[in-house]
Amino acid sequence: MTTQSTGQTPAQNTGWKAAFTAFLDRRALIMLFLGFSAGIPILLIFSSLSLWLGEAGIDKSAVTFFSWAALGYSFKFVWAPLIDELPVPYLTKKLGRRRAWLLIAQCLIICAIAVMAFSDPALGQAHLYQMAFGAVLLGFSAATQDIVIDAYRIELAETQMQTVLASTYNAGYRIGMIVAGAGALFLAASLGTAKGNYIYSAWKVTYLAMAAVMLIGIVTTLIIREPQVNRVNKHYQRRDYFRLVMVFFVAVFSFVLCYVFSGNLTEALKQQFQLKDAFLLFCLEALRFIASGAAAVLMGTILVKCGAVNKQMAFETWVHPVADFFKRYGVKLALVLLLLIGFYRVSDIIAGVISNVFYQDLNFSKEQIAEAVKVYGVIFSLLGGFLGGLLAQRMNIMKLMFVGAVLASSTNLIFIGLVKSGQALSDVQVSVGQQQYQTQADEVGYWKVAVPSQVLATQHEIQVRAHYQTGDTPSRLVSMPYLQQTATETAQLQLLP
């Protein structure tokens, strides 16, 4: 817990020159490297992992389920007070509280990535569970790293410098995401794995390489200095800290048990009332999640009241920070801020879970996906990060956030264009069952084929062998959805590449 941050005082932001000069500060460079370390793990849970699972033949519903592994990012506020209060034996004395926790989190991230690397999901459910464990550990460790980096940034500089540190952190974060996204895809593709030609060793080497990249974060942690702050020292006994941690893990375990065992109840309700509406199913799952969270809170409350943990310590760790937040901003503004934080980027995050699988289903290769991310991702991540920090020093934050929300959400409309375009085809051959059919492209580039309707009644999947107009890759066999435009004896099918 800190009372006030200290450090070098930057020049007052009296003009654009001073705003640019602030980015040359040594502390901005520190946050760039820490941001890079924080950006590596998230895509190893989301997009890169989704392609791996897709190539291994895992169902899309299971692929999207892995996004729950990143739930730690959403609920890191639950154990953030623990990280703020608990000293790490030996390491806290040697490195300081922030650097000690940062080093532990980064080491756990490397271990989690290694666990995932040594899990082949194609070998069966046991290996898939092992990968799920590694993904959950990665999400928890990465969220812990984010907690510590945020605390370090706040203590590193005064308020006027925070927008600069946040923007350089964001730039580093985006670069890390590009390395774990485009970099991982390039490496996996260069080792030969592809849709229809799954090679486990390629993904294993790729994830181990990403674990090695995390050493940059560890080196940064060992080089930087602990911020000098006026910290309020609390003299609790070691067993008090141990009990506090145990209460936390018991509450988490209660959440997991409640969520897992309530699955049978929700399935029974779906069958009983024949629920098929997507919104109702979402509400049911949300209710299941909220009930599990309530069970965890109830278990923690019972343990505190039973004296399993120092009551004052528990209140200072979890209750007082929340109460202080609502007291500082007022109930209405605090709720608005929480809603803003919760929903500001929800559209991007939801789409990002399955985006790479979506691109691959449109027959784009990993190299093409990575190429687009590498070129445009680097340019716009760096430009957006520094431009955001620059404008934040000179303009109203809330107005900028409104513009950012509109721009970020509107970019999702581009997915509609991708659905209608896809990868351009040439030399298309279609087979339905044992029959081969000729295809032709219309004036706008859509490929159509005439197939007897009775054939489609028994064959629900068509096979397409095609070349792609971009690239020199040989023709390959892919499954494609189609639109049936007529219901006569001969159906006109429009391929959706």
Q: How far is CA 424 from CA 391, 434, 495, in A?
A: 40, 26, 12
Largest CA distance in the chain: 84
Residue 38 confidence (pLDDT):
94
Residue 152 confidence (pLDDT):
92
Residue 34 confidence (pLDDT):
95
Domain boundaries, the chain: 2-236+344-416, 423-495
Residue 443 confidence (pLDDT):
46
Task: Tell me the pLDDT tens digit for each residue of 107-149.
Answer: 999 999 999 999 999 998 889 989 999 999 999 999 999 999 9
Task: Tell me the pLDDT tens digit for each residue of 217-263.
Answer: 999 999 999 888 776 666 777 788 888 888 888 998 998 899 888 88
Is residue 138 a contact partner of residue 45, using CB atoms and an 8 Å limit? yes
Is residue 38 a contact partner of residue 166, using CB atoms and an 8 Å limit? no
Residue 282: count other Cβ atoms within 10 Å of its Cβ: 10
Return the sign of the alpha-carbon dihedral for residues 113, 118, 122, 123: negative
Q: Tokens for 454?
A: 């009775």
For residues 12 and 276, what is the distance between their CA atoms, to the nearest angstrom? Answer: 59
**Residues of the chain where predicted confidence (pLDDT) is lower than 70:** 1-20, 22, 231-234, 345-354, 363, 373-375, 377-378, 381, 385, 389, 393, 419-497
Task: Tell me the pLDDT tens digit for each residue of 59-77.
Answer: 877 777 777 777 777 778 7
Residue 345 confidence (pLDDT):
66
Residue 350 confidence (pLDDT):
65
Burial class (CB in 10 A: 0-12, 13-18, 19+), 236: middle
Q: Helix (H) and strand (E) counts for the chain?
A: 24, 10
Q: CB within 8 A of 352, min separation 6: which ones?
A: 46, 47
For residues 310 and 317, what is the distance between their CA atoms, to the nearest angstrom? Answer: 11
Residue 349 confidence (pLDDT):
64
Is residue 36 a contact partner of residue 176, using CB atoms and an 8 Å limit? yes
CATH architecture of 2-236+344-416: Up-down Bundle (1.20)
CATH architecture of 423-495: Beta Barrel (2.40)
Residue 472 confidence (pLDDT):
47
For residues 5 and 40, what is the distance between their CA atoms, to the nearest angstrom? Answer: 28
Let me know if the fold of 2-236+344-416 is the same as that of 423-495.
no
